[in-house]
Amino acid sequence: MSRSEAFPVVVTGGSRGIGAATVALLAGRGHPVVFSYASNDAAARALCDRVAEEGGHAVACKGDAAAEGAVAALFATCVDRFGAPGGVFANAGITGPA
């Protein structure tokens, strides 16, 4: 896919693990990515920096992916920065006692 064919992608839970790997992969393939993260500001900033160093575009949005307002803000950020998303990876999960 050429960069001219790339479309914006929203990723929830994007600052660590599978989410971070997905953000890096998508950005490396030319997709601008807007991702959410819950609490680790340093990890989110490091991922954005890494993507930028590799020539990609990623924007981090802190918020709870289970909160309607946070999700609305995530999508609004995508639309404002890159246009309507052409893809979504709903990766965020919850942890705690089962």
Q: What is the pLDDT of residues 18-67, one digit of tens each?
A: 999 999 999 999 999 999 999 999 999 999 999 999 999 999 999 998 89
Of 40, 6, 43, residue with least CA distance to 25: 6
Question: Is the residue at 1 inside a domain?
Answer: no
Residue with tokens 């693990």: 17
Residue 5 confidence (pLDDT) above 90:
no
pTM comes to 0.90
How many structural domains are present in the chain? 1
- What are the helix (H) ranges across the chain? 17-28, 41-53, 68-81
Query: Can you give the C-alpha Rg of the chain in angstroms?
Result: 13
Residue 51 lies in a domain: yes
Backbone angles phi, psi at 13, to 5 degrees: 65, 50
Residue type (1 letter), 70: A
Q: Range of 46's domain?
A: 13-90
